[in-house]
Each structure stands twice: as structure tokens, then as C-alpha cells.
Amino acid sequence: MYRFIILFLILFLACKDNPEDNYTWKTLQVTATAYNSLAYQTNSNPHITAFGDSLKPGMKYIAVSRDLLSLGLKHNTPVAIEGMEGLYYVKDKMHYRWKKRIDIYMGTDVKAAKNWGRKKVEIAYGVLESEESVD
């Protein structure tokens, strides 16, 4: 866990001209699953998220349980996920029944989603400093 936080700080906070400089970064442990843009996993229009964004394989997007919205994981929030490379962005919402959970978008690669399974991970997410002062 500490290696993840140190790596995160080095990667995202070291650059002066980094757009992530406008964020306050928070960490949280969540259960992470994976999903695909297939009708049987979502609905009849699997390429449109609950926020209205279009999904295309290769995009680094996640869905969040609705309880996380109030913690600052709102639409377009950048998220670093333990065990995954790069930043992901909140682009979808999960059903109300899920709590403290994220769903990682894996395009149409059902095998990759099944291999990911379900695991507890540490995430770091950016809250814009202007939004944090409002809360």
C-alpha cells in the first residue's frame, strides 16, 4: 500500500506543469470489479454511460458506486488504481445496491474482465481544490 502511495506521489505530483496540480489527492480502499460494453452486462445501449459519455474499447474509464459520488468521485474525476497503469476517469455510475465499489471498463475483452475478477484495491482520486473548498 505504501509503495502505491509513494509511486503515486512521484508520478503525479512531481511535475510543476502537471494539470493534476490543481487537485487535492485522497486515498480510499474499495472493491474493484470490471465490466464490458456488452448489452448483456449493461443495457440495450451498452456504449453510453449513466453520465451520457460514449464508451470505446481502450478508454481508461471507471464506474463508481453512488455512495462514492458524495466523497468527490464525481463525473470526470481522475483516479489512480493500485495495480493499473495511468489515470482512469469517472464516466459511469453503478446501481444503488453497490457500496464502496468501482467497476473498471475493459472494452469488449470479457476474458480480461473475468481475469481481473473482484479485489480490494487502494485508489487515489483528485478533487479539484475549488470544489473541495465548497464542500
Rounded to 5 degrees, φ, ψ at 130 are -65, -35
Q: Are 120 and 110 in contact (CB under 8 A)?
A: no
Q: Are 78 and 102 in contact (CB under 8 A)?
A: no
**Residue type for 75, please?**
H
Which pLDDT does position 94 carry in this prediction? 92
Which pLDDT does position 11 carry in this prediction? 55
Which pLDDT does position 44 carry in this prediction? 64
Q: Are 84 and 42 in contact (CB under 8 A)?
A: no
Sequential pLDDT tens for the chain (135 residues): 655 555 555 555 544 455 556 899 999 999 999 998 877 666 666 677 888 888 888 999 999 999 999 999 999 999 999 999 999 999 999 999 999 999 999 988 999 999 999 999 999 999 987 765 555
